[in-house]
Amino acid sequence: MIEAIIIALIIAADRITKILAVNHLKGAGSYDLIDGVLRLTYVENTGASFSMLSDSTVLLTIFSGIVIVIMILFLIKQKKRNRAINLFLLSISSIIGGAIGNLFDRIAYGYVVDFIDFYIINFAVFNIADCFITIGAVLFCACLIFDKRIIV
């Protein structure tokens, strides 16, 4: 099942980058990659996206776990359909992989490690898992809107 490999690769990429962030950025301030645009900044996020529900780690852990199980069941259901669309399966796999990456942090540390900082637009600091969740969600919605073969 190619989706399981994609999920595992996303989790691995997320873990590796977060380990690097902890080892090289924690307590070191920010490191500019593109001056005025992009820097690496270590942040411990106890909330969800944009630090919503800060200090609600238990609630977010339970919610994330439930969402992951639902998305895995949904992936299996879609995979069993003969009309399953590869891009749609990729979107679901991306969401699952990213969600598992962030869930790991919540369980292991009580917070999510964030480190990518687009400070040119004063955007929230985020991580690789967040990128895959966001890209997966956009692809998921696009598939639902534009591909009439998809039945939820």
Catalytic residue among 14, 105, 114, 117: 114
Cα-based angle 94, 134, 25 (whole degrees, multiple of 5): 95
Active site residue 130: yes
At 54, the amino acid letter reads S
* Alpha-carbon span 20 to 5, nearest angstrom: 22
CA atoms within 13 A on the CB side of 139: 17
Work out the number of other CB atoms within 10 angstroms of the CB of residue 10.
25
Active-site residue among 14, 105, 117, 130?
130
Is 32 a catalytic site residue? no
Q: Known catalytic residues?
A: 114, 130
